[in-house]
Amino acid sequence: MIIDPWSSQDIKDYGKLRDEFGIEPFSQLIKKINNPSMLMRRGVIFGHRDFGRIIDAMEKKNPWAMMTGLMPSGKFHLGHMILAQQIIDYQNRGGKIFLCVADIEAYNVRKKSYEELRETAINEYLVNYIALGLKPKNCDFYFQSDRNVPYYRLASSLARRVTFNEIKAIYGQISPAKIYSALIQVADILHPQLTGKKPVVVPVGVDQDPHLRLTRDLASRTKEEFDFIPPSSTYHVFMKGINGGKMSSSNPSSYIALTDSPEEARKKIMRAFSGGGATLAEHKKHGGNPDVDVACQYLTYIFEPDDKKLTKLIEGFRKGDIISGDLKGYLADRVEKFLKEHQKKRELAKRKVGQFLK
Amino acid sequence: MIIDPWSSQDIKDYGKLRDEFGIEPFSQLIKKINNPSMLMRRGVIFGHRDFGRIIDAMEKKNPWAMMTGLMPSGKFHLGHMILAQQIIDYQNRGGKIFLCVADIEAYNVRKKSYEELRETAINEYLVNYIALGLKPKNCDFYFQSDRNVPYYRLASSLARRVTFNEIKAIYGQISPAKIYSALIQVADILHPQLTGKKPVVVPVGVDQDPHLRLTRDLASRTKEEFDFIPPSSTYHVFMKGINGGKMSSSNPSSYIALTDSPEEARKKIMRAFSGGGATLAEHKKHGGNPDVDVACQYLTYIFEPDDKKLTKLIEGFRKGDIISGDLKGYLADRVEKFLKEHQKKRELAKRKVGQFLK
């Protein structure tokens, strides 16, 4: 494990996550997983709840599923790739993929039109997923606003089992729109089991955990009527923005979009926040701090698939043998190459969109 | 007009209804209606909002619809016939009938199971409607829990446009279940226009008016997206219970169910609350009070279709020429005859149920 978010500065309350919320370190079960993915073995996926059920189903070749949602707003950027990589990995491991476009939520909470949302969901999200390797077989890509009667009936049936305080705990404040969104999101997570009881894993960032807790509670409260297995979940760290702060869809200088030109991407990387010493001499003497270095992160999360090479780069940087400019250059080459290839794949992907839409 | 609820004791705030809420006396437009129904000409339907649109559509043979819902709980009784008569009258006048089983609301607010609710909706409500004359043609009988995607999308799209206070004003208190029910009910009223803009009338008791006001507001607030005509509405008085108080589904001695035996119904009527004098002598001297007399009401609302005969009976009772026992006997004969015939028709109706279900 290269990243140890349980001891990192970014998320301070891991003890609380474990003790109060029952999120367990992912590292504890990684040896049970056949050929763990890069994100798993590097600790980017750092926590889980009941992931053992998924491992068990994979081993026994029992049906299982992965469910996730996307909020169709803004550009698809490197930060979104963390989830995309997981989706595709789970599909390759034999899971049925449920990919929900949260357009009812976006319509109500962000006040966009369904047409605009559909356009963004397809051109920004679906096309990139396909280009990254998502296949139509065993993939159920759907819009909340265009699902089916049993799904809406499920959402409707949850209304009597949820309280204001539970929804307040998730959103901080409540409104009819937020209550509706919360109910439909619980239905998103549970409805894969309407066509057969099975373990379902939802990969999320820690900020999404309140939704998972609510869903697990509602799975218990509907026991006599639906008999759902409470969803499993995994938790991944967030990629930092180019500037070392939050990667934010509303701030294009904080991210590299998958449609950015390779040249533009290179420029952004060369400007990225560095964990290197203040001067070359200092860096050589005291070394760099890979924990805050953006280039180190991006290599770890996406761009250096070879674990040995990655360790060499990071340790070299930590010791001061590798300087920031070289590390950024190395990353920029990788990103440029990736974007060139990816943008070609996007053109092919556009023709495959129809296979994912009913 | 035999009943004048605008001046009756039961509903005291008709001035308020008109001035604050824009409900107009139905009597003002009755002369524009071709062959007004018994309930219209007797003032049982006493108020309306924008019913002129419906009259206009009827005259011009433009499409129009009637929408109403039923809460599937308890027995179908004489009180329900006020609405049933209107439904059938509107169907005969060429309106498309939307008949909604409010099972999502009943499930969430009354905590019944969908199976139980479906059973009650069909065996108590639909069978009686059919026996009373409802025809499958131009009738869309549906369950909230089993409608279609555009309907649910409409309900979803309303969430952002409604406030807590509006829902509180309707239900007195709020909960996620009540918010959900309110949204789905607005969708019930508006969705007939998803398949074509048209005037829609909703016949209700005055207690349901807050739902109509909310729906009309939401029709305006969704103008740019849906372009709905705000619903028209009519308001009918409630039938009193046998005991002169409220007719209540939870108190079988307060109502005559359409499945009660004719003998049982006769007994209930003979015990009914009377507006007659305390003694025979007093009645002969001072006369009776038809405004509080249950038998007078039931004859007016349902069992004496002949206006002249009705006036004779009521005026005779008022003067003291007709005594309470005789009036009740007259009503009991009518009710017995009606129930015998109706219960035969129910048996035939049961075979027609399939024509109303998709």
User: Tens digit of pLDDT for each residue in B65-89?
Assistant: 999 999 998 899 999 999 999 999 9
User: Using an 8 Å Cβ cutoff, are B167 and A176 in contact?
Assistant: yes
Start-to-end CA distance of chain A, whole Å, equals: 41
Structure token digits, residue B46: 């006493």
From chain B, the residues in CB contact with A109 under 8 A are 160
Rounded to 10 deg, the angle between the B164-171 and B176-190 helix axes is 90
Question: What is the mean pLDDT of the segment spanning B344-348?
Answer: 97
- Residue A288 has a CB neighbour count (10 Å cut-off) of 26
The top-level CATH class assigned to B252-349 is: mainly alpha
ipTM value of the model? Answer: 0.88
CB contact under 8 Å between B156 and A145, yes or no, is yes
Write the pLDDT tens digit of every residue in A13-37.
666 777 778 899 999 899 999 999 9
Per-residue pLDDT, averaged over A325-342, amounts to 98
Sign of CA dihedral A313, A319, A321, A327: positive
Q: What is the mean pLDDT of residues A156-164?
A: 93
Q: What are phi and psi of B347, to 5 degrees?
A: -65, -40
Name the pairing type of β-strands A65-70 and A200-205: parallel
Give dist(CA A333, CA A265) in Å, integer. Answer: 10
The amino acid at B22: G
pLDDT at B109: 85
Which residues from chain A sit within 8 angstroms of residue B180, using beta carbons?
A: 156, 159, 179-180, 183
Residue in B180, B181, B185, B225 to test binding to A, most A beta-carbons within 10 Å: B180
For B175, phi then psi, to 5°, come to -155, 160
For B278, list phi and psi in degrees, rounded to 5. -65, -35
pLDDT above 80 for A12: no
For B211-257, the pLDDT digits (tens) are: 999 999 999 999 989 999 999 999 998 899 999 998 988 889 999 99
Identify which of A17, A5, A7 has the alpha carbon closest to the alpha carbon of residue A43: A5
What is the C-alpha to C-alpha distance for residues B118 and B103, in angstroms, rounded to an integer?
A: 8
pLDDT band at B12 (very low <50, low <70, confident <90, very high): low
Q: What pLDDT is attached to residue A10?
A: 56
Q: Which residues of A touch B147 (CB under 8 A)?
A: 149
Q: Which CATH number describes the domain made up of B5-238?
A: 3.40.50.620
pLDDT at A355 over 80: yes
Which of these, A184, A109, A96, lies nearest to A143 by C-alpha position? A184
Q: Which residues of A touch B145 (CB under 8 A)?
A: 149, 153, 156
Write down the pLDDT at residue A15.
67
Q: Where are the domains of chain B?
A: 5-238, 252-349
* Chain A positions with Cβ closer than 8 Å to B: 104, 107-109, 111, 113-114, 144-149, 152-153, 156-157, 159-160, 162-164, 167, 174-177, 179-181, 183-184, 225
B interface with A, Cβ–Cβ < 8 A, is: 104, 107-109, 111, 113-114, 144-149, 152-153, 156-157, 159-160, 162-164, 167, 175-177, 179-181, 183-184, 225
As a whole-number percent, the residues of chain A with pLDDT over 90 amount to 83
User: Taking all residues of chain A, what is their mean pLDDT, rounded to a whole number?
Assistant: 93
With bands split at pLDDT 50, 70 and 90, how would you rate the model's confidence at A322? very high
Minimal Cα distance from A179: which residue of B? B176
- Per-residue pLDDT tens for B244-281? 998 988 889 999 999 999 999 999 999 999 999 999 99
Task: Please tell me the pTM assigned to this model.
Answer: 0.91
Instruction: Say if CB B215 and CB B189 are below 8 A apart.
Output: yes
CATH superfamily of A252-350: Tyrosyl-Transfer RNA Synthetase (1.10.240.10)
In this prediction, residues B53-69 reach a mean pLDDT of 97
- Report pLDDT for B3: 62
Report which of residues A207 and A292 the model is more confident about: A292
The confidence score (pLDDT) of residue A1 equals: 54
Q: Which one is predicted more confidently, A215 or A2?
A: A215
CB pair distance less than 8 Å for A180 and B146: no
Average pLDDT (A230-245) is 94
Mutation site, A107, A179, A184, A224, interface B, largest B CB count within 10 A: A179
DSSP annotation of A71: -
Cβ atoms within 10 Å, residue A224: 7
CB contact under 8 A, A180 and B157: no
Separation of alpha carbons A217 and A207, rounded Å:
18
Q: Give every CB contact of residue B54 below 8 A, 6+ residues apart in sequence.
A: B64, B95, B199, B201, B232
Cα dist. B259→B2, B78, B265, B357 in Å? 29, 10, 10, 22
- Chain B closest-CA separation from residue A212 CA (Å): 18
Phi and psi (nearest 5°) for A73?
Answer: -145, 140
Per-residue pLDDT of B151-178, as tens digits, reads 999 999 999 999 988 888 877 888 899 9
- Cβ contact A235:A47 at 8 Å: yes
Q: Centre a 10 Å sphere on the Cβ of residue A277 and count the other Cβ atoms it contains.
A: 18
Identify which has the larger pLDDT, B33 or B18: B33
